[in-house]
A and B are shown apart, each in its own frame.
Chain A
Amino acid sequence: MREYLLGNAAIARGLLEAGVGVVAGYPGTPSSEIIENIVDLKGEATLHVEWSVNEKVALEVAAGASWTGCRAAATMKHVGLNVAADPFMTLAYLGVGAGLVVISADDPYCHSSQNEQDSRRYCQFAAIPCLDPKNPGEAKEMAAYAFELSERFNIPVMLRPTTRVSHARSDVEVSDVRSVNRLGRFIKNPARRVALPVHARPLHSELLAKQAILEEALESAPWNRLVLRGKVGVIASGIAGLYAEEAIADLDEEISVLSLGTYPLPKKLIIRMLEHVSRVMVIEELEPVVEEQVQILARTVNPNIEILGKNGFIPREGELDFLLVRNAIARMMARPERATLASAASGILPARPPSLCPGCSHRATYYAMKKVFGKKAIYPSDIGCYTMAVNMGTVDTCLCMGASITLASGIRHGGEEEGICCSLGDSTFLHGGMTGLLNAAYNKARITVTILDNSTTAMTGHQPNPGTGMTATGESTVQVSLEDLAKALGAGLVETVDPYHLDETIESFARAKEHPGLSVIIARQPCVIKARKKGARPKSFRVNEDCVGCKNCVNFGCPAIEFDNDAAKINMLCTGCGVCAAICPANAILEAI
């Protein structure tokens, strides 16, 4: 049976049809829907699926399960792999029990990310095989194959979809979910499970020795396809292979094509291509991983071959598309390029940037924060919806998960004398902020840390976290107290406020500012989107004739407030938080009766 599936749903299907027993991950665009689909599709299957606290934790949980003989997978976005890099590198040495698959979804063009790193480089670095799908169908097949490969070679395997695979849809063949028997047992074997130097040295030799046989096995994988035609060739990896095939069909040229989907790369296929053609273009998104290999192989196989790629034909940043690839190939073939049309909107149409939702409590928290700390204060921030508040002047940094607290500490220790108030969400705090808070307390950083607690992981689609009292499957569990955590980690002053109560929030920030040590403000109000879904009935507000047109409420930036005919107006988007009424100096915003 075929279904129209999102790439991430196809990956979830692949894992389930392969009999995965444990799936752990941390949400991050474009990877989040894999776990959500596992939860939706698992039915009666007894597998364990969890949102872990962060990616390092997720990979370690998956590794432990694999070592009991249970097929396991860890999911994350590319930058999450940085967090999981520590276990990732050494798991390559220690190997697996049952198959272990690491899914790292890359985001060329930074659609929803802070950088566009290439996970294939990590695989080269760790000597771990990588499968690079071109569409949802391949992603599903590869997810299942990854387990076999992992088991056959006793090594973790990476599946690396990109945004245009994870968030693509296509018709995909599906079959039944395999029910699993989770009766894993951990078998003690210190030589393979304890990475003491005495064990690590021979395991490193073993890992290196594996590479040649891995390459041999992957040579015949169905995702590597060589079609020899004319004396000009194209070598393309992952989704670039799809763009190249479409471009060649469109141009109707006799070009030899090698599509690649596996790493270590199939050298024999590459050599056959290099022996056949006199000119070859290497097409891949981001890093020249394939191109470097082609350069090395060409030196011995065909030193006179002309190699085109990142040398002016294919960009090393951003994402590729059909037209870009078509035009690169057209240039190589001395054919006319097709113009890429630009949007006609510029100059006519106002921008529509993503913004904090109407009624979002983060806006109120930031308003109060800035009122107390002032324009000159330093506001390190973090990864989440709240980064969109950059226009409010309370987001001075965004580096990586949890870095708001540690950057704030460093800024203080570097000599900065202004007030420092950093902010991060509840999920981000639990993911990577706790160690930073502990460090700030231990090393006496005089800063204020604001935990924007909307009781969910909002940006990535409202996944639960340990502060919500609910697991990935919706079961109730321990609800961790952020207040107790902050105190236990050494914060001197810990206060909780409801940001919708603006006066109380301002007073609390004022106490934090005066506090001589490390202070923590927990600004707690459920995410408005979640509250609405749970059936919250908003109050409604209106602006009366006392409005003086001062624009204080408009500048607050809530999409529910408009400015029309020299007066403010509240539109249908209002969620009834009432914060604008507290801001209005003329008391012109009132609850509608």
Chain B
Amino acid sequence: MRTSECDMVIVGVGGQGVILISDVIGRAAVLAGKPVCGAETHGMAQRGGSVINHTRIGCRFSPMVASGGADVLVALEPGEALRYAHFLSPAGVALVNTRPVLPTTVTAGLAEYPPLDEILAPIKAQCGRVTTIDAITLASRAGTAQAMNVVMLGALSRYIPLSEETILEALTQVVPPRFLEANKRAFALGKAEV
């Protein structure tokens, strides 16, 4: 039996803006009058480490999504998509930003970062659909590369039970006014990718 209306896992590297996406979704769910919960990474792991955020719309239970249970995986970094692909349900969708952030193990020459194809293959085996997005290029086109996470939010908006209007209202609450227009453009460009 389903215990949540929509489960998503948002992953990336500390500092990429994972929390902003979930904050917007959570606020939008509240605006829509839906129960919502989530869990996020703080503290030690944030220092350039791998971060995961769970968000569950229409849910009054655990703040974490179970492995094999996510309807959507949003990855701000391709390697992190693979690291957390086991959270995806077989019917789930993966939205993957294609630009890698090299871990220190790679920059120091201790390990190799695999090519994108090798990263995506196991994810494709895990779920029904994988959409790759060059989110940094799209965000730059929108006016600021910083809005990469909002491009991904735009793509995510296709798969969640919240209206675009509500999500944009929540985005307005979170983004500083001077960056709002660029962020709205980033959202639209992301949405157009799927």
- Contact indicator A342/B47 (Cβ below 8 Å): no
Identify the closest chain A residue to B103 (Cβ).
A352
Name the interface residues of A484-503: CB closer than 8 Å to any CB of B. Answer: none
- Contact indicator A323/B103 (Cβ below 8 Å): no
Task: Kindly state whether residue A561 has any CB partner on chain B within 8 Å.
Answer: yes
Task: Kindly state whether residue A192 has any CB partner on chain B within 8 Å.
Answer: no
Checking B13, B27, B111, B118 against A350 with a beta-carbon cut-off of 8 angstroms, the contacting residue is B111
Task: Kindly state whether residue B163 has any CB partner on chain A within 8 Å.
Answer: no
A32 to chain B, nearest CB (A): 8
Bitwise, A21-34 to B at CB < 8 A (1) or not (0) is 00000000110010
Known: A246-B62, A356-B47, A557-B108. A344 touches B86 (CB 8 A): yes
Identify the closest chain B residue to A239 (Cβ).
B62
Task: Kindly state whether residue A321 has any CB partner on chain B within 8 Å.
Answer: yes
Task: Kindly state whether residue B66 has any CB partner on chain A within 8 Å.
Answer: yes
Identify the closest chain A residue to B106 (Cβ).
A350
- Contact indicator B61/A245 (Cβ below 8 Å): yes
Residues of B within 8 A of A245 (CB): 61
Name the interface residues of A146-181: CB closer than 8 Å to any CB of B. Answer: 164, 167-171
Task: Kindly state whether residue A186 has any CB partner on chain B within 8 Å.
Answer: no
Task: Kindly state whether residue A4 has any CB partner on chain B within 8 Å.
Answer: yes
- Contact indicator B3/A249 (Cβ below 8 Å): yes
Known: A322-B66, A343-B86, A559-B107. A168 touches B47 (CB 8 A): no
- Contact indicator A323/B82 (Cβ below 8 Å): no
Checking B14, B27, B47 against A4 with a beta-carbon cut-off of 8 angstroms, the contacting residue is B27
Residues of A within 8 A of B114 (CB): 348-349
B88 to chain A, nearest CB (A): 9
Identify the closest chain B residue to A245 (Cβ).
B61
Checking A250, A321, A341 against B64 with a beta-carbon cut-off of 8 angstroms, the contacting residue is A321
- Contact indicator B44/A322 (Cβ below 8 Å): no
Size bracket of the B interface: 35 or more
Task: Kindly state whether residue A198 has any CB partner on chain B within 8 Å.
Answer: no
Name the interface residues of A296-315: CB closer than 8 Å to any CB of B. Answer: none
Name the interface residues of A348-363: CB closer than 8 Å to any CB of B. Answer: 348-357
Residues of B within 8 A of A559 (CB): 48, 104, 107
- Contact indicator A250/B1 (Cβ below 8 Å): yes
Name the interface residues of A1-45: CB closer than 8 Å to any CB of B. Answer: 2-4, 6, 29-30, 33
Task: Kindly state whether residue B36 has any CB partner on chain A within 8 Å.
Answer: yes
Identify the closest chain B residue to A111 (Cβ).
B43
Task: Kindly state whether residue B39 has any CB partner on chain A within 8 Å.
Answer: yes
Known: A169-B22, A559-B107. A350 touches B113 (CB 8 A): yes
- Contact indicator A246/B83 (Cβ below 8 Å): no
CA distance A33 to B104 in the complex (A): 29
- Contact indicator B42/A354 (Cβ below 8 Å): no
- Contact indicator A348/B47 (Cβ below 8 Å): no
Checking B14, B29, B118 against A171 with a beta-carbon cut-off of 8 angstroms, the contacting residue is B29
- Contact indicator B63/A169 (Cβ below 8 Å): yes
B139 to chain A, nearest CB (A): 15
Checking A169, A250, A348, A555 against B40 with a beta-carbon cut-off of 8 angstroms, the contacting residue is A169
Identify the closest chain A residue to B36 (Cβ).
A171
Task: Kindly state whether residue B186 has any CB partner on chain A within 8 Å.
Answer: no
Checking A135, A321, A350 against B37 with a beta-carbon cut-off of 8 angstroms, the contacting residue is A135
Task: Kindly state whether residue A243 has any CB partner on chain B within 8 Å.
Answer: yes
CA distance A341 to B73 in the complex (A): 15
Task: Kindly state whether residue B20 has any CB partner on chain A within 8 Å.
Answer: no
Task: Kindly state whether residue B79 has any CB partner on chain A within 8 Å.
Answer: yes
Known: A112-B45, A249-B3, A559-B104. A341 touches B67 (CB 8 A): yes
Name the interface residues of B98-138: CB closer than 8 Å to any CB of A. Answer: 102-114, 118-119, 122-123, 125-126
Task: Kindly state whether residue A196 has any CB partner on chain B within 8 Å.
Answer: no
Task: Kindly state whether residue A376 has any CB partner on chain B within 8 Å.
Answer: no
Task: Kindly state whether residue B190 has any CB partner on chain A within 8 Å.
Answer: no
Task: Kindly state whether residue B154 has any CB partner on chain A within 8 Å.
Answer: no
Q: What are 18 A-B interface contacts by the 8 Å CB criterion? A: A29-B42, A111-B44, A164-B63, A167-B40, A168-B40, A169-B22, A169-B26, A169-B39, A171-B36, A242-B62, A249-B61, A342-B86, A350-B103, A350-B111, A356-B47, A554-B108, A557-B104, A561-B107
7 closest cross-chain pairs (CB), A and B: A112-B43, A29-B43, A354-B49, A350-B111, A246-B61, A4-B26, A168-B63
11 further interface pairs, Cβ-Cβ under 8 Å (given A249-B1, A322-B66): A169-B36, A170-B35, A170-B38, A245-B61, A249-B3, A321-B66, A344-B82, A350-B110, A354-B14, A357-B48, A385-B47
